[in-house]
Amino acid sequence: MGERINGGLRRVPTWALYILGMLPAPWLLWQGATGALGVEPIRALEHELGQWALWFLIAGLAVTPLRRFAGLNLLKFRRALGLIAFYYVFCHLLVWIVLDVQILGQVWADIAKRPYITIGMAAFVLLIPLALTSNNWSVRKLGPRWRTLHKAVYAAAVLGAMHFVMLVKGFQIEPLVYLGIILALLGLRMIPRKRRVAVRQTAG
Ligand code: HEM
């Protein structure tokens, strides 16, 4: 069963994921421009793009545990998932700067003054080197340092979810659920690999 699913997934081209994954942003922009996003289209756009960013970050973080614990191999899609997540964070930031705040001086003031913006910005800054090195050349060039560098996605995802927790007013369960999912996905990575240790012990 697992093999059949993995075999099917191998045949899905990554470009299809890039296209399908990136389409919601122009679609949302179109909806905002045509009045389909309600009375506060900029706010709605900001919210939708932030959510998509979080979903793709979570999907990227789920790849390793899904392979380890469910035998589902989505490894070939991991780069696309990460880059699409970055694309949404970038669009989210652009909407905030270009459509919402609009005044460059105010952008800096908000980043410095509002803790949830500072945290969101920290997540974005952490993701920049990861997006820039998500290509075969960088993987080859950086060698083992590539994996160490890309562990920064753990911090970026936690900061992204924290940003959401901080910006909602009052007690809301949704951002806490996202934070919980991210922490659980990170926690799963800490479970020691028993079988491998056993194999190594028998081999030794
Ligand atoms: C990894 C990075 C980020 C993630 C995952 C993220 C995610 C989110 C999410 C999920 C929301 C709320 C959506 C909702 O209410 O349904 C949101 C709102 C928002 N984010 Fe982000 N964000 C990130 C980075 C940033 C950055 C870099 C900025 C700006 C510097 C920013 C500014 C905002 C603003 C202004 C709002 C709307 C707040 C309001 O309701 O007025 N975010 N973000």
Q: Which residue has the higher pLDDT, 194 or 127?
A: 127
Res 8: pLDDT: 87
| Mean per-residue pLDDT over the chain, rounded | 91
Q: Residue 89 and residue 57: Cα distance in Å, rounded?
A: 10
DSSP state of 39: S
> Does the beta carbon of 163 sit less than 6 angstroms from any atom of ligand 1?
yes
Q: Which residues of 57-81 are buried (b: 16+ CB within 10 A; e: fewer)?
A: bbbbbbbebbeeeeebbbeebbbbb
Of 3-17, 49-63, 114-128, the range with the lowest mean pLDDT is 3-17
**Confidence band for 204, pLDDT divided at 50, 70 and 90:** very low
Res 197: pLDDT: 55
**203 in any annotated domain:** no
Tell which atom from ligand 1 comes closest to the C-alpha of 53.
5
Res 62: pLDDT: 97
Contact call for residues 146 and 139 (beta carbons, < 8 A): yes
Please tell me the distance between residue 119's alpha carbon and the centre of ligand 1 in angstroms: 10
Whole-prediction pTM:
0.92
Q: What angle do CA 89, 131, 91 make, to 5 degrees?
A: 20
Tell which atom from ligand 1 comes closest to the C-alpha of 127.
1
Query: Is residue 134 pLDDT above 80, yes or no?
Result: yes
**57 in any annotated domain:** yes
Residue nearest to atom 21 of ligand 1 (CA): 50
Q: The domain containing residue 43 runs over which residues?
A: 2-196
> Does the beta carbon of 74 sit less than 6 angstroms from any atom of ligand 1?
no
> Does the beta carbon of 82 sit less than 6 angstroms from any atom of ligand 1?
no
**163 in any annotated domain:** yes
CA distances from 32 to 27, 37, 51, 94 (A): 9, 5, 16, 15
Tell which atom from ligand 1 comes closest to the C-alpha of 57.
5
Q: Residue 140 and residue 66: Cα distance in Å, rounded?
A: 26
From 73, 46, 98, 69, select the one nearest 189 (Cα to Cα).
69
Residue nearest to atom 32 of ligand 1 (CA): 117
Q: Which residue has the higher pLDDT, 36 or 54?
A: 54
Residue nearest to atom 8 of ligand 1 (CA): 50
Contact call for residues 174 and 67 (beta carbons, < 8 A): no
CA distances from 23 to 27, 46, 94, 124 (A): 6, 16, 17, 21
Q: Write the CB contacts of 133 (distance below 8 Å, at least 6 apart in sequence).
A: 139, 142, 146, 149, 150
Domains: count for the chain:
1
DSSP state of 12: S
Amino acid (1-letter code) at residue 152: A
Amino acid (1-letter code) at residue 67: R
Average pLDDT value for residue range 93-113 = 88
